[in-house]
Amino acid sequence: DQQVKQNSPSLSVQEGRISILNCDYTNSMFDYFLWYKKYPAEGPTFLISISSIKDKNEDGRFTVFLNKSAKHLSLHIVPSQPGDSAVYFCAASFFRNAGNMLTFGGGTRLMVKP
């Protein structure tokens, strides 16, 4: 039972354009959502997060949108740069037994072409 899904395994975008990465979840108990970026042979790097009480959070070129009714979140990168080429994971969490384990999607490989 995959509770967090990233349906696009890959995305190719031209440098300077917008990259939109999507993520869907099924568990309505999730109350915190995160995006991570991962290069090969490195650990995931935290990018941006959003609480379920918000519908948008922005940090520089990165904006995350949350649509709770649709159980959908997206990450917008504007403008896209070649250095953004990596695998992007969305993750969700809820506080259970005071823990906040992350449930990850399968990842989307973003390729930004110069």
Partner 1 sequence: DSGVTQTPKHLITATGQRVTLRCSPRSGDLSVYWYQQSLDQGLQFLIQYYNGEERAKGNILERFSAQQFPDLHSELNLSSLELGDSALYFCASSVEGSGEQYFGPGTRLTVT
Which positions touch partner 1 (CB under 8 A)? 32, 34, 36, 41-46, 49, 51, 89, 91, 93, 96-107
Shortest Å distance, C-beta 67 to partner 1: 19
- The distance of closest approach from Cβ of residue 49 to partner 1 in the complex, given in angstroms and rounded to an integer, is 6
Query: For partner 1, which is the closer residue by CB, 80 or 86?
Result: 86
**80/105 with CB nearer partner 1:** 105
Residue count of the chain: 114
Question: Which of 29/101 has CB closer to partner 1?
Answer: 101
- Residue 13 vs 34, nearer CB to partner 1: 34
Write down the least CB distance from residue 113 to partner 1, Å: 26
Instruction: Give the residue among 33, 40, 35 at the shortest CA–CA distance from 85.
Output: 40
How many Cβ atoms are within 10 Å of 83's Cβ, its own excluded?
9
Assigned token pair, 65:
């949108």
Closest contact distance (angstroms) between CB of 54 and partner 1 is: 12
| CA separation, residue 28 to residues 51, 61, 92, 95 (Å) | 13, 28, 10, 13
How many CA atoms are closer than 13 Å to the CA of 105, on its beta-carbon side? Answer: 31
